[in-house]
Amino acid sequence: MALLQISEPGMSAAPHQHRLAVGIDLGTTNSLVATVKSGSAVCLPDEKGRKTLPSVVRYGSGGEIEVGADALKAQKIDPQNTVSSAKRLIGRTLADLQQASHYLPYRFGENERVIELHTRQGAKTPIEVSAEILKTLKNRAEASLGGALVGAVITVPAYFDDAQRQATKDAARLAGLNVLRLLNEPTAAAIAYGLDNASEGTFVVYDLGGGTFDVSVLQLTKGLFEVKATGGNSALGGDDFDHRLFCHLLEQNKLSQLNEQDSQLLLALTRSAKEALTTETSTAVRATLSDGKIVDTVITRQEFHNLTQHLVLKTIEPVKQALKDAGISKADVNGVIMVGGSTRMLHVQQTVGTFFGQTPLNNLNPDEVVALGAAMQADVLAGNKADGEWLLLDVTPLSLGLETYGGLAEKVIPRNSTLPTSRAQEFTTFKDGQTAMTIHVVQGERELVSDCRSLAKFTLRGIPPMAAGAARIRVTFQVDADGLLSVSAQEQSTGVQAQIEVKPSYGLDDDTITQMLKDGMSNAAEDMAARARAEAAVEAESLLGAIEAALALDSDLLSADELSAIQADTAALQSRLQNGNAEEIRAAVSALGRSTDNFAAKRMNRNIKRALAGQSVDNI
Ligand code: ADP
Ligand code: MG
């Protein structure tokens, strides 16, 4: 598949001209922007010399929008208008949040498709909040580099799904940024360490940030990273270490009820103390509270480690799980990369080092490493490198999938999957005794096959005749590093197999892809309706088929009235199938279901009697 982003017309760089491109780590707690200057990646500071930007946005009473440290300071006094951790909400719906364990202080809107937070400046989506952070970083970069950016590589957690990735892209677009590519955070960290220059290897990326812990297992083959497994704990991070130390201080100073101002002060001092303990062996927390009481406590590094070691140990379980999911053991790991500000803590490094039996890679700044790797990737994609060096990471520009019954497109490999990639999904037969299955491979984002691009068709024959739904046909999609797609299908019980190779990028230029993406978005509602109708129709046809078969065998069980009721409901459903919408078809299916309930019960009785006929009670 062509590297689409860099082959856009006008994008090939004149040899002497350096194109301004940045990498952005859009973090839950902190965000950063980096660029490549004279061959090496550096993070860009703001005018006060600060590199990290707290990912906090405040909607002020005068219509102003504050982003970063000032917004963070105001959070305690103005929680409903100050949004932090928008990354936890982006690309999510209210329904997704019901499962989240975190308490969130916001006033949520009723919108079911996208989360809205009510602020004094109106309803804001997490996309808009993230856009403010990205805008701030874009402005910082343009001021510092002295020109307009060609584009940005933005990092996302490896576990982000399509909706979360799309929402992140939308945020970038709102911020006026051209997204060269989204890059997985652990991959960015690995690139920053230059691991992509090695030919092969298995790496673990251990990322302990402010409020989240993520672990990923990366497999590098021929300069291409594949995420083998991810895991973590979305409610564990540096904040928990702050909290533990804070509670310790309260106990030591016999403090119970603190007012808001005092607790905020003490929490800020606690965090500074925690951070100081990575370089000092002891530190003091000193403060005068609003009632004149004096807090003066010395904490040693050893004490702090004792207080929080249980939190460090909590990260090891997900690490073990990720190794297990990737099917590897500790001994297979060629390197462990430390990412996230919290991995600065020495007991974190020691514990991880002991677990893996090797010293983790930590010579780059752990809170900068993701942004640095993204910047290096942006530099390549913007065309600042010689041609030969471009073949690093590539993605599928559109989803690949196949046609299922009712003309629906089922996505197997989602758009933007990093190559090479492979996915398998199981399908089944629709009809009793079906012995062949046609696999129709399609490409696109739309719900209906007729709106997608058809790539290839092949037939799997020799499926043993079975009842509808009993056959298990495993269809595997595989896209290699060159974008060559091969699809194979195998019936699981007999092993009969068929396969085909296709070249999916054939003839699709950027404009077509952009248009298809646009269509996919603007037609989402329409597509959902069409999909719902097609699904209802599949259900209806299967019920009609079943009833026809049952009547042929057992209609003698029915009274004349019962039979005519079933026939009337059957006719009603058939006419709904011609011209009804999804809801009408479903209603007719339910009606027919009800009128045949009794018939089904009678048939069951008859079948049981037949089965039991001639058998003695002992055999049952
Ligand atoms: P995220 O990826 O969640 O946006 P970061 O990687 O920026 O977060 O990590 C932020 C966390 O790192 C905070 O909890 C902060 O206190 C912690 N941190 C930063 N520097 C240090 C340090 N020197 N020692 C201990 N913790 C630190
Ligand atoms: Mg991070």
Q: Which residues pair with 437 in a beta bridge?
A: 460
Output the pLDDT for position 15: 42
Determine which residue's CA is closest to atom 11 belonging to ligand 1: 210
Q: Which residues pair with 176 in a beta bridge?
A: none
Q: What CA–CA distance (Å, rounded) separates 588 from 425?
A: 32
Which one-letter DSSP state was computed for residue 387? Answer: G
C-alpha dihedral over 226, 228, 229, 230, to 10 degrees?
Answer: -10
Give the active site residue among 207, 394, 491, 527.
Answer: 207
Instruction: Identify each DSSP E strand in 275-334 by its residue range.
Output: 282-288, 294-300
Q: What CA–CA distance (Å, rounded) separates 357 from 330?
A: 8
76 as an active site residue: the answer is no
CB atoms within 10 A of CB 287: 16
Determine which residue's CA is closest to atom 8 belonging to ligand 1: 209
Q: Which residues of the chain have pLDDT under 70?
A: 1-17, 99-103, 385-397, 416, 419, 481-484, 501-522, 607-620
Q: Which helix (H) or strand (E) holds 214?
A: strand 213-221
Q: What CA–CA distance (Å, rounded) separates 615 from 323?
A: 54
Give the active site residue among 128, 170, 185, 275.
Answer: 185
CB atoms within 10 A of CB 146: 7
User: Which domains are seen in the chain, by residue range?
Assistant: 21-238+308-395 (3.30.420.40), 400-522 (2.60.34.10), 525-612 (1.20.1270.10)
Q: Which two tokens stand for residue 464?
A: 């043993």
**H-type alpha helices, 146-197:** 162-174, 185-192
pLDDT, tens only, 190-234: 999 988 777 789 999 999 999 999 999 998 887 778 888 888 998
Determine which residue's CA is closest to atom 22 belonging to ligand 1: 275
CA-based R_g, the chain, Å: 30
* C-alpha 48 to ligand 2 mean position (Å): 22
Output the pLDDT for position 520: 65
Which one-letter DSSP state was computed for residue 363? Answer: S
Q: Which residues pair with 408 in a beta bridge?
A: 404, 448
Does the beta carbon of 27 sit less than 6 angstroms from any atom of ligand 1? yes
Alpha-carbon distances of 214 from 196, 315, 496, 602, rounded to whole Å = 21, 9, 40, 56
Write 561-568 long-range contacts (CB < 8 A, 24+). Answer: 562/595, 562/598, 562/599, 565/595, 566/592, 566/595, 566/596, 566/599
User: What's the chain's length in residues?
Assistant: 620
Q: What CA–CA distance (Å, rounded) separates 263 from 195?
A: 44
Q: What CA–CA distance (Å, rounded) separates 89 from 114?
A: 9
Output the pLDDT for position 308: 98
* C-alpha 170 to ligand 2 mean position (Å): 20
Does the beta carbon of 238 sit less than 6 angstroms from any atom of ligand 1? yes
Helix (H, G, I), strand (E, B) or coil at 162: helix
DSSP string across 81-123:
GEEE-GGGTTT--HHHHTT--------B---SSS--EEETTEE
207 as an active site residue: the answer is yes
* C-alpha 31 to ligand 2 mean position (Å): 8
Q: Which two tokens stand for residue 73?
A: 């300071």
Which one-letter DSSP state was computed for residue 462? Answer: -
Instruction: For 173-212, give one letter per residue: b (16+ CB within 10 A) or e.
Output: ebbebebbbbbbbbbbbbbbbebbeeeebbbbbbbbbbbb
185 as an active site residue: the answer is yes
CB burial class (10 A; 0-12, 13-18, 19+) of residue 570?
Answer: buried
Question: Which atom of ligand 1 is the closest one to the Cα of 238?
Answer: 14
Q: What CA–CA distance (Å, rounded) separates 73 from 455?
A: 55
Q: What CA–CA distance (Å, rounded) separates 584 from 136?
A: 50
Q: What CA–CA distance (Å, rounded) separates 380 from 391?
A: 9
The answer to whether 204 and 336 have CB atoms below 8 angstroms apart is: yes
Does the beta carbon of 88 sit less than 6 angstroms from any atom of ligand 1? no
Q: Which residues pair with 44 in a beta bridge?
A: none
